[in-house]
Chain A
């Protein structure tokens, strides 16, 4: 295959992955709507059985309705997960062929389009890995919508034909630094989602009816714990990416290991916010709601740094948009 063929394959795979993500989303939507039917059946039981004091058990209801709906929920839930798995596989093909389309072949994260492609892949893949361990299947629709939206942003606004790497990126640190940064980004993004779920569920209050989707979202304590574990997984990796590999590479390429470059500053801000999150979880008066808010702030700073700062700041040496100054900048 020629480089151009690989490039075409990559673009087609991105489109195909987006379609399959969309199908996964549809499956989850059916799953949701079926959940409502389970609830309706439950409500019917509750109303009918109020006098006989045997409320709340869905299996006792108009059993056939609840059972059918229950089967459908399970089926479409599994289907959604399966489709997400297929989409992630195609997503991987897109990344791989993107790397193959470059001459010389390289890792597929050399510009914003490729970062976004790789970042969304990590989010979806981490979701698949963690969904079993932390029972995250309820998060499926959110993850799929997020990945789909960012893939569209990447394809519409960020697309850039494959080219060779700018000289400064041509280093093995590109593999170590960017893989760790993107992995941590994926984990923090998932953690942001669970923290948002925590806040929403908390807002509903303890007495709100646990119906539909909310019935599947774990308890507040459990959500808090899941969020913490995801963040605890991401934080050391982020530390490694931002405070170890980043400075080492910066020292090699730009002569000083910490330049207060806007990208560095925001990576540092993100680090501080997540450090505050970890502290807040053990501080009276801050655990729970405030910690979850901090996690959300962290997610925002993270994504602002990932995409936003490139458009706000012109002086960043990390600005990958278009061609940059010859090697570094001649600042005189």
Chain B
């Protein structure tokens, strides 16, 4: 590197060895941090640190899986929670590694950019005194004059897109040609590293200002885009709800194709949610077929179809004959065959609140008395529910999920046989509950769709960053950067031409380059064609 003679590199004699003042310590730390060795170690640490997040479920990726995992591992959970293992990619130690890596990258790239800038405007370096000391060199004798050889060498190298050092007529440079090519290699390298920063910026913008939310929408129910409508909502820390696009939409029709034969029988495909939407309040109504892999973009928000299921339409009447609960209730699928679980709450029922909990079979069948579900298509729907009465605990103030029933203050309703009552209902069927509690009707079944709605600002910046990084990477990998020097000396027998090549990218076959150059120099003899000058 550049001049270091103004400061002592070794401690002054009166100080004990190893003793550094603050400035030296800082400089030492900076040097270490920006050294290639530390950058390498940080890269490997980054790889290693990413591992636990792939083995332990992550809260921000799949909160359900994470909480299940926590239930199963009682001893590990508190330790992991302290270490941030459930949120590895947002944890301070993960951030520490990539921030250090970015600092190291900057510390390396910024000085190199200046060096590159100077190098770009500088002449190729003068020929070394002794070309034969370079690992790759050749020489040949010729009867031509030195000037003719030099002239042609410059022409040949220029044709091969080398940049030539201005011919200098003084000192040791007499009779030499210096050439360099492959300047774009280092440029590619710099672009790659700076593009990594661009990607990080884009990613950070998305994480800070974006959001991702999901909603389960029963077919035909309108959705207006504001916070209260979402089932789950994960905003970035700087997300501004006022910036949400004021659209609304309704799923009118949902198509799905169930495979009934072949090795994938039972698999569903061809999901298509036919929806109408308006971009602004009072705007014109448009329609769109929302399919997997074909999101709908409204303003800066995008809608994705990511799940579907069934919502039985159930009417609960209480002991007085009044409707206590009515409407479609989404049941959550337990697997790809849409065998689903759900609850129905009738808190206004009198004399006692009624809670229903159970399963929905899209294609019910009884095999030797055991109820089974044969497939996801609603060929033979059946609703199988247990009944609870008492206090559903819905006034306790604590938010209660619509998909779970708090049974702590209820009693299971028993049938005539003294066993807990199980209602098995097909569409159109109504069952009277015992003890004058009321009745339950299964009117019909409709489908629901899970729509993911997200805003990911900065994604174009991130994409631009990776594309730039790829281009820079290819430049830095495939462009060869090399220097060539040539020196002619005239003696009594004629002219001796020495030529040497130095590959700066490492690992290139300079000997082949050299022999190619020598061949080109010799084949361009003036005997073949007249020199212009």
Interface residues of A, Cβ cutoff 8 Å to B: 103, 160-168, 170-171, 173, 224-225, 228-229, 232, 235-236, 239-240, 243-244, 247-249, 251-262, 265-266, 268-269, 272-273, 275-276, 278-286, 301, 309, 312-315, 323-332
CB distance from B284 to the nearest CB of A (A): 26
Q: Is the CB of A312 within 8 A of B55?
A: yes
Whether the Cβ atoms of B64 and A332 lie closer than 8 Å is yes
A167 contacts which chain B residues (CB < 8 A)? 268-271, 292-293
Tell whether A240 pairs with B470 under 8 Å between CB atoms, given A276-B44, A327-B307, A332-B403.
yes
Interface centre among A256, A261, A269 (most CB of B within 10 A): A256
Q: Are A262 and B459 in contact (CB under 8 A)?
A: no
> How far does the alpha carbon of A10 sit from the alpha carbon of B120 in the complex, in Å?
57
**Given A173-B293, A261-B61, A276-B47, 17 other A-B residues pairs in contact with their CB atoms under 8 A:** A163-B264, A170-B293, A225-B507, A236-B470, A244-B470, A247-B462, A247-B463, A254-B306, A255-B302, A272-B47, A312-B54, A323-B266, A325-B336, A326-B336, A327-B306, A329-B306, A332-B403
Chain A CB within 10 Å, residue with most, of B61, B294, B474: B61
Binary interface encoding of chain B residues 459-484 relative to chain A, with 1 for a CB under 8 A from any of its CBs, else 0: 10011001101100110011000000
Of the candidate stretches B32-40, B351-359, B429-437, the one touching chain A is B32-40
Q: Does B65 contact A (CB under 8 A)?
A: yes
- Decide: A326 and B309 in contact? CB cutoff 8 A: yes
CB-CB nearest 7 A-B residue pairs: A163-B264, A328-B306, A161-B263, A262-B54, A255-B304, A265-B54, A272-B47
Residues of B close to A161: CB separation below 8 A: 263
CB <8 Å contact, A331 and B64: yes
The docked-state distance in angstroms from the alpha carbon of A244 to that of B304 is 20
Rounded to whole angstroms, the CA-CA distance of A285 and B295 in the bound complex is 50
Asked if A315 meets B50 with Cβ closer than 8 Å, knowing A232-B477, A323-B266, the reply is no
The residue in B55, B62, B467, B474 that gathers the most chain A C-beta atoms within 10 A of its C-beta is B62
Chain A residue with Cβ nearest B270: A167
A332 touches B232 (CB 8 A): yes
Asked if B36 contacts A283 (CB within 8 A), the reply is yes
Taking a contact as CB atoms under 8 Å apart, the answer to whether A239 and B263 are in contact is no
Q: Which of A160, A163, A248, A331 contacts B63 (CB 8 A)?
A: A331
- B452 — which chain A residues lie within 8 A by C-beta? 254-255, 328
Interface centre among B307, B308, B467 (most CB of A within 10 A): B307
Contact check, B43 vs A236: say whether CB atoms are below 8 A apart. Answer: no
Residues of B within 8 A of A251 (CB): 456, 459
For A163, the closest partner residue in chain B by CB is: B264
CA distance A164 to B336 in the complex (A): 16
Interface CB pairs A-B, < 8 A, 22: A164-B262, A166-B269, A167-B268, A170-B269, A170-B292, A236-B477, A239-B473, A254-B306, A255-B212, A256-B212, A260-B89, A268-B50, A272-B43, A276-B47, A282-B36, A325-B307, A327-B450, A328-B450, A328-B452, A329-B307, A330-B333, A331-B65
Q: How far is the CB of A24 from chain B (nearest CB, A)?
A: 30
Inter-subunit contact A326/B333 (CB<8 Å) = yes
Q: How far is the CA of A244 from the CA of B338 in the complex (A)?
A: 34
The A-contacting residues of B in range 304-331, CB under 8 angstroms, are 304-309
**8 Å CB contact of A283 from B40, B64, B308, B459:** B40
Alpha-carbon gap, A325 to B40, bound state (A): 40
- Contacts A255-B212, A282-B506, A330-B309 hold; do A260 and B43 have CB atoms under 8 A apart? no
A261 CB contacts on chain B under 8 angstroms = 61
Chain B positions within 8 Å of A258 at CB level: 203
Q: Assess whether B309 is in contact with A279, with CB atoms less than 8 Å apart.
A: no
Chain A residues lying within 8 Å of B40, measured Cβ to Cβ, are: 276, 279-280, 283, 286
Please measure, in the bound complex, the distance between the C-alpha atom of A103 and the C-alpha atom of B269, giving whole angstroms.
13
Please count how many residues in chain B sit with their CB below 8 Å of the partner chain's CB atoms: 73
Cβ–Cβ < 8 Å partners of B64 in chain A: 331-332
Are B293 and A171 interface neighbours, CB within 8 A? yes
CB < 8 Å: which of A162, A248, A327 contacts B308? A327
Please determine whether B292 and A269 come into contact, CB atoms closer than 8 angstroms: no
- What is the CA–CA distance of A167 and B57 in the complex, to the nearest angstrom? 25
| Smallest CB separation, A46 vs chain B (Å) | 31
Contact A239 B469 (CB under 8 A): yes
From B46, B266, B308, A272 is in contact (CB under 8 Å) with B46
Is the pair A224, B507 in contact by a Cβ cutoff of 8 Å?
yes
* Nearest A residue to B213, CB-CB: A255
Which of A163, A257, A266 has a CB less than 8 Å from the CB of B456?
A257
Query: Given the complex, which residues of A lie within 8 Å of B306, measured CB to CB?
Result: 254-255, 327-329
Given contacts A163-B264, A281-B506, A286-B40, contact A313 B55 (CB under 8 A): yes
Residues of chain A contacted by B203 (CB below 8 angstroms): 258
- Bitwise, B167-198 to A at CB < 8 A (1) or not (0) is 00000000000000000000000000000000
Q: Mark B401-419, 1 if CB is under 8 A from A, else 0.
A: 0010000000000000000
A255: B residues at CB distance < 8 A: 212, 295, 302, 304, 306, 452, 454
Which B residues touch A256, using CB under 8 A? 212, 454, 456
Whole-angstrom distance between the alpha carbons of A239 and B263 in the complex? 35
Q: Which residues of B contact A247 (CB under 8 A)?
A: 462-463, 466
Whole-angstrom CA separation of A281 from B477 in the bound complex: 12
A328 touches B307 (CB 8 A): yes
Which residues between 242 and 271 of chain B lie within 8 Å of chain A, taking CB atoms? Answer: 259, 262-264, 266-271
B231 contacts the other chain (CB 8 A) = yes
B53 lies within 8 A of chain A by Cβ: yes
Contact B62 A235 (CB under 8 A): no
Which chain B residue has the least Cβ–Cβ distance from A305? B54
Interface residues of B in 194-233 (CB under 8 A from A): 199, 203, 212, 216, 231-232
